[in-house]
Each structure stands twice: as structure tokens, then as C-alpha cells.
Structure 1
Amino acid sequence: MKLDHLAALNAERDARRPAILVTDTGDGTQRLVREAEIDSDPLAETLRERLLSGKSGIVEADGRSLFLTVQVPPVRLLVVGAVHISQALCPMAAALELDVTVIDPRTAFATPERFPDVALLSEWPGDAFARLAPLDRYTALAALTHDPKIDDPALIAALNAGCFYVGALGSRKSHARRLDRLHEAGLSSEATGRIHGPIGLDIGAVTPAEIAVSILGDVIATLRRDRIRGKAKGERAECMRHGVDA
């Protein structure tokens, strides 16, 4: 890999922007395709599928064999609310290699003693988001405070940024009230329909640890559904290229 390509890949990684290095296995020539450049690339459909799947590999195009080195940002989980559920959630998420950050302006809750070895921001969500890399579709957000002053701005920011998972703790009644507030704030029903509320899979969870399991299961299910759709789409396209009925 050329040094300029390596430097460019590193820059995209630091900015949490996906990119693909296309290498011709025949002559070794390379080109870097940033996400913003994909639509104008001759391999646009294939590159989009690879970004969705997150998998590198060899493809055939115009009689040439190309190796696509796919670089996508690590999946991160932003937990808004330094509550008991968050204390159970963080070590589980870390075990799944999610990049976890807890955000809560309530300094009595957001303490290193309660959240050891966890990135902790004792700030309002808006201030915390300004310090972090921009929210993106590789980000999951779980709003767990039950306080509209804290949760609602975080939900609005996550929905506007296209985070792949947006969930909020609360009963169905409290979620209905939440939706009314968000609609009054200008969000559409289509946007608020993306909120997983009540948060988590319906597994009958009761304890903080059980609720944390349900949340992580919901996050993973949402992530894998997106990846599976991308893989299935790529497999169908490959079958069509070879004249095979998928």
C-alpha cells in the first residue's frame, strides 16, 4: 500500500468516514474510494454493498480481479444516563467490542467509581456530542434517564444524524408522551417511528441486568439485519451476473 493511500485511510478512519481501497490483483494498481465518492464510481453498487456488509474481499469487474479493502468505523454505543441499567450494560457492550460512552450531566451519577474503565462525559448530551466524532449510522444511542430534558435532545440529535439504532427507556404511556413532545419539536412521525420504545427486545426483562441484555440484543439484531440485507443484496447481484437464479 502506498503511503499516500495509508495516510488517506487513516484520515478517514479518524473522522469515522467509511472508505474502500480498490486493488487490481493483476497489476497492483490501487485507488481509494471515499464514501462521498461512491455514487460517481463505476463500481458504485458493489462498493455500497461492501460498505453495508463491512467485509473485504475479491470481486470481478470488466474481466479483472479486484480486492476491496473495506474500512468502516467501529460500532459505538452512546448511553445517555448513568443509571443502574447502564452499569450492567457497559461491561456487556465492552465484551462485544462496542465502543461505549456514557453521557450524563448529573455528576452524582456519572462518576468513575460507578463506571470504571468506561468513557464518561459528565455533560449535557448536546455538549458531549460536540466533543465526540459526529453521530453517524455506525452509532447506536440508548436514552435511559427518564428525564425529557436530557433524553429528548439526545434522541433528536440521533434521529437527525441517522444513527442505526435509537432507543429510549420507558413504558408505552411514557413513550407516547415522548412522541408528542418530539412531534411538537418538529420531528416527523416517520423519524420518531425509528425509535425503539420501549427500548429493548421483549424478553420479559425485570432487573437492570436483564434490561441491559434486552437492549444489547435489540442493538445487535438491528445491526445484523442491516448487514444481512447488504450481504443478501450482494449475493443476489452476484447470481444475476453469472446468470444464476437466486
Structure 2
Amino acid sequence: MLLAHLQEINAARDARRAAVTITDLDTGSTRLFREKEVFDPPVSSALESALRTGKSGIVETGGRSVFINVYLPSPRIVAIGAGHISQALAGMAAIAGFELTIIDPRDSFASPERFGPAQCLTERPEDVFQRTPLDAYTAMVAVSHDPAIDDFPLMKAIAAGCFYVGALGGKKSHAKRVERLAKLGLDDAAIARIHGPIGLDIRASNPAEIAVAILADIILTLRTRNVTGTLDEAS
């Protein structure tokens, strides 16, 4: 690997952005791409698949064999609210390969010993986000069921382009949430990004099942997200 490419990949890793190298197996020449916002020109389906799955491999394109090596940031979940749903999600997220951070300013809820490997912070979300900004490889899960705690993280997640934004509550609760967020300046397209009610509809009836539905929805969104955002070709 060229030193310049290694430096680019390390910079992308530090910034939690994707990087991809494509090596022609006949000539040995390598191109490096850095993630941006719009693919120009459109990428091949093989490159799209690599960006969605994080899997590298050999593909045939244009009659040539190339090796696609993809470097993706580790996907993570930020859960707002340290209730039973987050407690159930803690173990499941780790098994599925997600780093989980639980944020709840209510000391009586956020007892770290309840959440196993997950990081549990008894702070205001806005203070945490100043240290650890949200990004396109973060899933936001607002499950405190308290608008005073949930609404700000939802707005920040949308602004940051989080790949998944979900909020707990039934249809009536979500309708009220939509009204609040609209008054705060979010447009219809932004509000439509919120998965509410949260999770896949599996008829969940307890916190553990709701956590399963949330995690499944996160994985589905991650693997089907729009990746024709941008790769700028580097030399």
C-alpha cells in the first residue's frame, strides 16, 4: 500500500468516514476513494455492496479482476434513556457488533451496573455530543419517553445525518412529537426520517422484544442505506 493511501485511510478512520481502495489485480495499480456526499460518476453495484456491508473481496468489472478493500467506521448506537429497553438492548447490541452508549441525566435510572458492556453516562445529551459528535455511522435511539430529554437528541441526530433515528411512542405520541419538532424548525423531510413508532413491527409486547425490533430495524437501515453519497477519487 502506498504511504499516501495509508495516511488517507488513517485520516478517514479518525474522522469516522469511509475509505475504499480498488486494486487492479492484473496491473497492481490502486485507486483510493474518500467518502463525501454524492457519487460522481455512479459507482458499481459491487462498490455499493462493499460500502453497505463492510466486506472486502475480489469482483469482476469491465472484464478485469479488482480487489475492493473497504474501511468503514464501526457502527454505533446512542440510546437516550436508561430504562428497561436500553438494558435489554445493551447485551443484544454487543452481540451484533455495535458499540452502545446510553445517556440519561436522571441518576436514578442510569446505574452503570445494569448495562453490562455498554457505556452509561449520567449527563445531558448536549454535553456528551460536544465531546463525541454524532455522525453518519451512528444510530440514534430515543427511548426515555420524555420530550424534554428526547427531542434535542433527535434534532441533533437528523442534523448530523445519523443513518438511523428512532423514537419510542405510539402513533399519538409520535404525532405530538412531529408537532413539537415542526415548531422547532424541522421540515417535513427531516421529520420523516424519524422511525416512529420505533423498530420493526413485530408486535413486540415487552422491553426485550422492543429491543429486538429496534436492533433489527437498525441493521436493516444500515444494510440498505443510501451509499451513493460521495466518493471523491484520490490519486
Per the TM superposition, whether the score is higher than 0.5 is yes
Contact 1:129 1:135 in 2 (8 A): no
Structure 1 outlier segments of 4+, above 6 Å? none
Structure with greater helix percent: 1
Deviation at 1:202, TM superposition (A): 2.2
Q: 2:150 corresponds to which letter in structure 1?
A: D
Is 2:165 aligned against 1:166? yes
Q: 1:213 corresponds to which letter in structure 2?
A: V
For structure 1, the residue ranges without an aligned partner over 5 or more in a row are: 231-246
Larger Rg: 1
Query: How many residues get paired?
Result: 226
TM-score (normalizing by structure 1): 0.82
Partner of 1:45 in structure 2?
43
- Over aligned residue pairs, what C-alpha RMSD do you find? 2.4
Is 2:198 aligned against 1:196? no
For structure 2, the residue ranges without an aligned partner over 5 or more in a row are: 229-235
Cα deviation digits, residues 147-186 of structure 1 (max 9, x gap): 1111001111111222221111112111111100000011
Deviation at 1:210, TM superposition (A): 1.6
Higher alpha-carbon deviation: 198-207 or 148-157: 198-207
Contact 2:90 2:117 in 1 (8 A): no
Contact 1:15 1:133 in 2 (8 A): no
TM-score (normalizing by structure 2): 0.85
Q: 1:45 corresponds to which letter in structure 2?
A: V
Contact 2:56 2:68 in 1 (8 A): yes
Partner of 2:12 in structure 1?
12
Cα deviation digits, residues 114-169 of structure 1 (max 9, x gap): 22321222222222122114421x22111011111110011111112222211111
Partner of 2:79 in structure 1?
79
Contact 1:79 1:86 in 2 (8 A): yes
Q: 1:178 corresponds to which letter in structure 2?
A: R
Which fold has the larger relative contact order, with Cα–Cα distance below 8 Å and residues 6 or more apart in sequence?
Answer: 2
Is 2:135 aligned against 1:132? no
Partner of 1:233 in structure 2?
none
Q: 1:102 corresponds to which letter in structure 2?
A: I
Q: What is the aligned-residue identity percentage?
A: 54
